[in-house]
Amino acid sequence: MTAKLSNPAVRVGIVALVALVIALSLAVPLRSFVRQSDDNAALAAEVAAKERSIAELQADVERWRDDAFVEEQARSRLNYVYPGETAYVVVDADGDTPGQLPTKAAAEQQSGSWYERFWTSVEQSR
C-alpha cells in the first residue's frame, strides 16, 4: 500500500482532486456573494434616486409655504387679480385663449361615473 502512495503521479492526482473539491465547494458561495453585491449596488442606486425624489418634493413643499409663490401661482394659473386691477385675456385668431378653462359642455361630459365617460369616449372614437 505504501508503494502506491509513494508514486509521484498518485500524489499529484490526490492533490489535484483535493484542489478540485475545494474549488467546487467555494464556487457556490462565491457566486452568491457576487450576486448579492450586484443586488446591493442596485438597491443603493434605487435608494439614492428615492432620496433625490424626496429632496425635490421637500423643495416643492417649501416653495408652496412661501406666500409670494402661492400668490404668483394663483394669479398665473387661476387668473386671480386684486380688487381694482384689470385682468386682460389674450385671444388668438380662433378665439381660443391659451390655458382656457373647459367649457360647460366639456364639464358636463366629465360628470357621471367613470364607466359612462369611458363608453362615451369609445363611442366618440368610432
The more confident residue out of 121 and 105 is 121
Task: Supply the pLDDT for residue 53.
Answer: 96
pLDDT of residue 89: 76
Task: Say what the pTM is.
Answer: 0.45
Q: Among the residues of the chain, which ranges form H helices?
A: 2-5, 8-65, 67-77, 104-110, 114-125
Give residue-wise pLDDT tens across range 25-84: 888 888 888 888 889 999 999 999 999 999 999 999 999 999 999 999 988 888 888 899
Instruction: Identify the residue with better confidence: 13 or 106.
Output: 13
Residues 6+ apart with CB under 8 A from 90: 97, 98
What whole-number distance in Å separates Cα of residue 26 and Cα of residue 89?
Answer: 75
